[in-house]
Amino acid sequence: MGIEHMKHVKIFIFLCILTFAVSCGQQGRYIQYKVQKGETISSIARNLNMKNQDLIRLNPDVESGLKADSYIVVPEKKLITYNANKVKEPSVDLIEESSTNTDEIDEKLKRINELREKFEVYEVKKGDTFYNLQKLFNVTRGQLLILNPELIDGLKVGQLLKIREHDVKVVSNGKTFQDYIRPNTALKVALLLPFRADQYNIDTIDVKDVFIKNASLVNITTDFYLGAEIAIDSLRGRGLQIELNVFDTGTRSANEIRSIVASKNLNRNDVVIGPMYSEEAQAVADNVTIPVIFPVYSDNQSGFSSSNIITTVPDKSIFREELVRYIKDNFDRGNIIIVSDEKAASLALSRTLKSTLEHSVAAGNVHLITPVNGYIAKQRFSQILRPNTKNWIIIDSDSNLVIADVINSLISLPKETVAKVFTTDKSSAFDKVDNRKLANVGFTYVSDVFVDEDSVETRAFNSQYYKKNNTLPSFYATKGFDITYDILMRLASGNDLKTTFKEGASSRVETKFDYRNNNGENQGVFIVQYNEDLTLSKLK
């Protein structure tokens, strides 16, 4: 499968150097087909979308005619495609042809639907082996035996196999999207990223120079792509057919986007991931009818006017709403102190937050504190905070001085006066505070990512990424994986994206995707807390 691109020579060489080349699909396999009464070479070839001579070439001994119940060789993919199109319900065409009992068929469909609620399900067909199941689903015989102990006696036609549990973690507060790849699904994906290959002498650059001497190449774009590549490899391993078309959007120029839109038929794809600049994403969305996935955060994303733009990073207003929701659900008595800085915009937001909490929290005193002469004295906290009750402080500012004043004042209070610190969004200013101090005040914040280093998903992704790239994934590499995997898995179900948004939220390696408002805006965020041992816990 070729990679489309704007810089025909340079971007191709650039992607090859960084192992960006898109691999081809599996080679064709063949399978025996049982001839039914009345079928001819022409009718079978027509059903399989083949030429008569191509089918005869595979079966040179049938030129004299076909006999019912005899077997011929046909391309496996074409037969699967024909069966899938013949009956809309994928599982029906897997029921043995000799079965005419409608009650038996209904019972089998009921069983399949029950299993699908928790597992990816497959019905054994004639000719199946453990080897071809491993190739098809990327599972070993041992893994199948764990879920299907009856396989100790071997494979039997008509068996319903549990391939794997749905790998979406449970998401609270609503339905969970269940991963399911519809058989024989093929997707075309356009990836628009600013590689800017024309700025570098890619024709002569050594692969080591990319990561050592020319560190500027190791940026958001390359990391995002490497993560997306792992997602595509993983989905292909699960049987999803993917054609990937990569475009270099170059420098931040309207000309580059106009050129791509004018010269490439982006609508031939099922989805566009990118571009990374808001104005470019809007320009692409205005010229296509397919979903455009905006993969990063922008202050301008709330102004998107096209309904086909999907924003994957929650708007900052979602962070504030989630913190209010958490406090409302968990605060029952005591004091709430909101700390703001002196900026007019900050004060306005803090006053709105105070008003909201006063109406949302039943038993609590809500206070607003701002600096005096640029400083917040310790006694201003001690005058409000009381022992043996909840004292929750919300830092609604990204000022280094305000944050330092609050944290230092609180950790010096008497031990019986326990205070817990919250913020709506952990800005870089908090990175300048000693983590031990943050842990001391139970620092809790809203985040669009949560990393559980011990989870199976994290360890599997890190291992796969390291094996392929000889380095651990960065933030944007993981983001590239999460976004690409989630969007393509949703499309692989056979439904359009907006339909899958109604089906529930999903959680990948580090990111939660919750489009419950069904307008293409991700609202998936976490409530994260620092622990005394400096680890992080997900509270919600």
CATH class of the domain whose range is 91-168: alpha beta
Report whether pLDDT(393) > 60: yes
Name the least confident of 18-22, 352-356, 459-463.
Answer: 18-22
Question: How much is the pLDDT for 230?
Answer: 93
| Residue 324 φ/ψ, nearest 5 degrees | -60, -40
Q: Which CATH fold would you assign to the domain 317-447?
A: Rossmann fold (3.40.50)
Classified as helix, coil or strand, 180 is coil
Tally DSSP H helices, then E strands, for the chain.
19, 18
| Spatial distance between the Cα atoms of 65 and 70, rounded to a whole number of angstroms | 11
Question: How much is the pLDDT for 30?
Answer: 65
Report whether pLDDT(97) > 50: no
Task: Say whether domain 1-28+182-314+450-525 belongs to CATH 4.10.320.10.
Answer: no
Report whether pLDDT(311) > 80: yes
Q: Which residues of the chain does CATH 3.10.350.10 include?
A: 91-168
Name the least confident of 29-38, 92-101, 385-394, 468-477.
Answer: 92-101
The more confidently predicted of residues 188 and 329 is: 188
Interacting residues of 304 by C-beta distance below 8 A, sequence separation 6+: 278, 281, 282, 285, 294, 311
Residues 5-36 have pLDDT tens digits of: 434 333 333 444 333 333 333 334 666 777 88
Rg (CA), the chain: 28
Question: How much is the pLDDT for 108?
Answer: 62
Residues 358-376 have pLDDT tens digits of: 887 766 688 898 888 888 8
Name the least confident of 134-138, 318-322, 441-445.
Answer: 134-138
Interacting residues of 447 by C-beta distance below 8 A, sequence separation 6+: 425, 426, 525, 526, 528
Report whether pLDDT(141) > 80: yes
| Spatial distance between the Cα atoms of 417 and 414, rounded to a whole number of angstroms | 6
- Burial (CB < 10 A; 0-12, 13-18, 19+), residue 61, is exposed
Question: How much is the pLDDT for 214?
Answer: 37
Q: Which range scores top for mean pLDDT: 2-11, 87-96, 148-157? A: 148-157
> How many other β-carbons are positioned within 10 Å of the β-carbon of residue 264?
17
The per-residue pLDDT of the chain, averaged, comes to 79
Question: How much is the pLDDT for 416?
Answer: 72
Report whether pLDDT(90) > 70: no
Question: How much is the pLDDT for 63?
Answer: 59
Q: Which residues of the chain does CATH 3.40.50.2300 include?
A: 1-28+182-314+450-525, 317-447
Question: How much is the pLDDT for 487?
Answer: 96
- Tell me which residue of 422, 420, 428, 421 sits closest to 399, measured CA to CA: 428
Q: pLDDT-derived band of residue 308, with 50, 70 and 90 as boundaries?
A: very high
Give, rounded to a whole angstrom, the gap between the first and last alpha carbons of the chain.
42
Residues 428-442 have pLDDT tens digits of: 888 888 889 998 888
Report whether pLDDT(453) > 60: yes
Q: pLDDT-derived band of residue 444, with 50, 70 and 90 as boundaries?
A: very high
**Mean pLDDT across the stretch 484-489?**
96
Give the number of C-alpha atoms closer than 13 A to the C-alpha of residue 471, restricted to the C-beta side: 13
Name the least confident of 12-16, 59-63, 272-276, 401-405.
Answer: 12-16
Q: Residue 35, Cα to own-chain centre: how many angstroms?
A: 43
Tokens of 25: 């699909």
Question: How much is the pLDDT for 105?
Answer: 54
Residues 255-291 have pLDDT tens digits of: 788 888 888 889 999 999 989 889 999 999 999 999 9
| Spatial distance between the Cα atoms of 18 and 211, rounded to a whole number of angstroms | 10
Question: How much is the pLDDT for 210?
Answer: 34
| Spatial distance between the Cα atoms of 450 and 169, rounded to a whole number of angstroms | 13
> What sign does the dihedral 187-190-191-197 (CA atoms) show?
positive
Q: pLDDT-derived band of residue 109, with 50, 70 and 90 as boundaries?
A: low
Question: How much is the pLDDT for 540?
Answer: 82
| Spatial distance between the Cα atoms of 341 and 219, rounded to a whole number of angstroms | 34
Question: How much is the pLDDT for 7?
Answer: 40
Residues 172-231 have pLDDT tens digits of: 445 788 888 888 899 999 999 887 655 543 333 333 333 333 334 347 888 999 999 999
Report whether pLDDT(67) > 50: yes
Question: How much is the pLDDT for 212?
Answer: 34
Question: How much is the pLDDT for 83?
Answer: 67
